[in-house]
């Protein structure tokens, strides 16, 4: 039997369509179809000036937007030789880690929903995300599409009381994460549907170019924040979370641990944050020197890369965006044949894909 899963299906988290060939309830073949959200971002940006591009990138991975912006603005900064003020770097780190936590909350809720824990954990996940979203709204003015980073720093400084509010929020988060674990970890439904489901060994994941929590859950502790430190990440004390299972439960566990580490980073950054300007002296209208640069950062979902080829003009000659969701989805799709259908849902949900990012 052939089953069309998606593109409009509540369990596919976006417009992902998987054509599943079933034998009873067992999956024989699963063919993903992408491109329902393809907007040609890489083509559009070739017609835009460097200054205009961050708002477009916000619309790629709309759950962790600031992480998208970072790779791009750092690539521009590297090519233009811009030095970002210290304060801007710290604010960036704080917001990025909050953004990562937000993204994981937004993953946690729907994930439990897909597993059949209908409602409770879903709403709690989104509610905690809402608190952080308010901080972002106060800081950037927008709830989702922030457009806050720009090459040379930030668009404007953070508001008064930002440090107090951020630290209050950060201090509160560990208890919240504990509660989430308390809520689902001993739950039979949750355990039966995650432990041992969709296991992937490390070498396969690596070979498929997987990254982020998905790769770390397979026992390979690669984290760009540690391996190739960018921004000011080398000044903070945090550990790279990994798990050995490679199954859905390991992916859940890695994300939960990662949020705790993010909180640690936020608390350290808030303590160390200096005063000063937040935007380097640069014009909006810039021309980058001829050359190419590939800048990668640790996105909430894995390695997000921005590859800029400049011909010396005011617009990028080519801007390739390496999407972590795409590679992770590709890797997870080899797991699907042989599963029962509900496990397929659980596995795809545990990868944490955002279709805006895979399709671009």
Partner 1 sequence: MAENTPPTTKNQTHLLEIERLLKGAHGQSLVATEIKNDELFADVAPVAVPDVMRWLRDDRSCRFDYIRCLCGVDYSDHVTVVYHLFATKTKSKITVRVEVSKESPAIASVTDVWAGADWLERETAEMFGLVFDGHPDPRRLLLTEDNDAMPLRKDFKLDYGNEQSKVKRDNA
Partner 2 sequence: MTARRPLFFGTGIIRTFRVTVKHFFMKSLAVQYPHERIPIADVSRGMLRMKGAIDTDTNFAPSFTEMPPCQARCPANVDARGYIGLIAQGRYDDAYELHLENNPLPGMISRVCPHPCERLCRRGEEDAPVTICDLKGFMFDHVSAGRRQKVFSRPKIRKDKKVAVVGAGPAGLSVAFWLGKCGYDVVIFEKLATAGGALRAAIAPSRLPVDIIDQEVDDVRKMCEAIRTNTSVGPDGLSLDDLFAKDFEAVFLGIGAHRKIPVKGQAKAADAPAEPSRAEKNAWLPAQGVNLDEQGNIATPDVPNLTSRPGVFAGGEAILGPGVAISSIGCARRAAQAIDNYLNGGPSDYWTTGFSKQDTIKNRYDEFTPRLAKAKPGEGVLNPVHQMTEKVAIEQAERCLSCMTEECIGCHICEKYCPPQAISIVTSQDKSRRIDSYVVDYGKCQLCETCVDVCPTRTLTHTPEFETADYGHTDMIYDKDKMTRNKPLRVDIYAKGNK
Strands, sheet with 302-310, edge to edge from the N-terminal-most edge strand: 291-299, 302-310, 318-322
- C-alpha 314: how far from chain center: 29
245 near partner 2, judged by CB under 8 A: yes
134 near partner 2, judged by CB under 8 A: yes
Closest CA to 54 of 138, 158, 145: 145
Q: Pick the binder of partner 2 from 15, 30, 37, 56 (CB under 8 A).
A: 56
Q: How many Cα atoms within 13 Å fall on the side-chain side of residue 119?
A: 0
244 near partner 2, judged by CB under 8 A: yes
Restricted to residues 137-196, the positions that interact with partner 2 (CB under 8 A) are 137-142, 145, 147, 155-156, 159-160, 179, 182-191, 195-196
Which residue's CB is nearer to partner 1, number 112 or number 327? Answer: 327
- The secondary structure element, H or E, covering residue 343 is helix 341-351
- The secondary structure element, H or E, covering residue 168 is helix 162-184
- Provide the 8-state DSSP code for 11: G
CA distances from 94 to 214, 277, 344 (A): 23, 16, 35
How many of the other CB atoms lie within 10 Å of CB of 237? 8
Which residue's CB is nearer to partner 2, number 59 or number 78? Answer: 59
Which residue's CB is nearer to partner 2, number 141 or number 276? Answer: 141
Cβ–Cβ under 8 Å, residues 21 and 287: no
Q: Pick the binder of partner 1 from 29, 43, 83, 127 (CB under 8 A).
A: 43
- Provide the 8-state DSSP code for 47: G
Q: In the beta sheet, which residues pair with residue 293?
A: 308
Q: How far is the CB of 272 from partner 1 (least distance, A)?
A: 26
249 near partner 2, judged by CB under 8 A: yes
Which residue's CB is nearer to partner 1, number 224 or number 278? Answer: 224
| Contact partner, 86, from partner 1, partner 2, none, Cβ < 5-8 Å per class | none
Cα-based angle 32, 256, 67 (whole degrees, multiple of 5) = 65
Nearest-angstrom CA–CA distance, 100 and 276:
25
| Contact partner, 249, from partner 1, partner 2, none, Cβ < 5-8 Å per class | partner 2
Phi first, then psi, for residue 58 (nearest 5°) are -55, -35
Cβ–Cβ under 8 Å, residues 337 and 28: yes
Q: Pick the binder of partner 1 from 195, 286, 309, 341 (CB under 8 A).
A: 309
Strands, sheet with 17-23, edge to edge from the N-terminal-most edge strand: 2-5, 17-23, 26-33
Q: Pick the binder of partner 1 from 2, 25, 130, 227 (CB under 8 A).
A: 227
- C-alpha 228: how far from chain center: 18
Kindly determine how many residues on this chain lie close enough to bind partner 1 according to the rule CB under 8 A. Answer: 37
210 near partner 1, judged by CB under 8 A: yes
Structure tokens at 213: 């929590």
| Contact partner, 164, from partner 1, partner 2, none, Cβ < 5-8 Å per class | none
Q: Pick the binder of partner 1 from 47, 160, 188, 275 (CB under 8 A).
A: 47
199 near partner 2, judged by CB under 8 A: yes
58 near partner 2, judged by CB under 8 A: yes
Q: Where are the beta strands (DSSP E) in the chain?
A: 2-5, 17-23, 26-33, 149-150, 153-154, 291-299, 302-310, 318-322
Which residue's CB is nearer to partner 2, number 236 or number 249? Answer: 249
* Max intra-chain CA distance, the chain: 64
Q: Pick the binder of partner 1 from 145, 287, 320, 342 (CB under 8 A).
A: 320
Q: How far is the CB of 138 from partner 2 (least distance, A)?
A: 5
Q: Pick the binder of partner 1 from 44, 82, 183, 286 (CB under 8 A).
A: 44
Contacts with partner 2 by CB under 8 A lie at 48-49, 51-53, 55-56, 58-59, 117, 120-121, 123-124, 126-127, 130-131, 134, 137-142, 145, 147, 155-156, 159-160, 179, 182-191, 195-196, 199, 243-247, 249-250, 253, 283-285
Positions in the binding site for partner 1 (CB under 8 A): 34-35, 38, 40, 42-44, 47, 78, 204, 206-210, 220, 222, 227-228, 293-294, 296, 303, 305, 307, 309, 317-318, 320, 322, 326-327, 330-331, 334, 359-360
């Amino acid at each position: 039997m052939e089953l069309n899963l998606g593109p409009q299906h509540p369990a596919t988290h976006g417009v992902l369509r998987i054509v599943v060939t079933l034998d009873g309830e067992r999956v024989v073949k699963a063919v993903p179809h992408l491109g329902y959200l393809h907007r040609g971002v890489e083509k559009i940006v070739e017609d835009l000036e460097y200054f205009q591009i961050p708002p477009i990138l916000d619309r790629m991975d709309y759950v962790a937007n600031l992480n998208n912006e970072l790779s791009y603005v750092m690539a521009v900064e590297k090519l233009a030789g811009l030095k970002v003020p210290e304060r801007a770097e710290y604010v960036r780190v704080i917001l990025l880690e909050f953004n990562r936590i937000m993204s994981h909350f937004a993953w946690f809720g729907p994930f439990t929903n897909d597993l059949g824990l209908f409602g409770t954990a879903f709403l709690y996940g989104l509610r905690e995300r809402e608190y952080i979203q308010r901080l972002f709204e106060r800081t950037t003015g927008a709830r989702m599409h922030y457009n806050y980073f720009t090459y040379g720093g930030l668009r404007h400084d953070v508001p008064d009381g930002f440090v107090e509010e951020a630290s209050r929020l950060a201090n509160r988060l560990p208890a919240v994460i504990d509660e989430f674990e308390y809520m689902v970890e001993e739950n039979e439904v949750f355990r039966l549907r995650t432990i041992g489901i969709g296991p992937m060994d490390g070498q396969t994941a690596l070979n498929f170019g997987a990254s982020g929590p998905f790769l770390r859950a397979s026992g390979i502790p690669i984290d760009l924040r540690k391996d190739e430190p960018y921004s000011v990440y080398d000044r903070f004390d945090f550990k790279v979370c990994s798990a050995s299972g490679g199954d859905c439960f390991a992916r859940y566990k890695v994300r939960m641990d990662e949020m705790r580490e993010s909180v640690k980073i936020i608390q350290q950054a808030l303590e160390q944050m200096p005063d000063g300007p937040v935007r380097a002296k640069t014009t909006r209208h810039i021309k980058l020197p001829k050359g190419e640069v590939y800048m990668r950062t640790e996105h909430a979902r894995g390695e997000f890369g921005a590859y800029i080829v400049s011909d010396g003009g005011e617009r990028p000659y080519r801007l390739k965006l390496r999407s972590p969701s795409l590679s992770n989805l590709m890797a997870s799709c080899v797991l699907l044949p042989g599963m029962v259908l509900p496990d397929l849902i659980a596995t795809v949900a545990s990868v944490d894909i955002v279709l805006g990012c895979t399709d671009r």
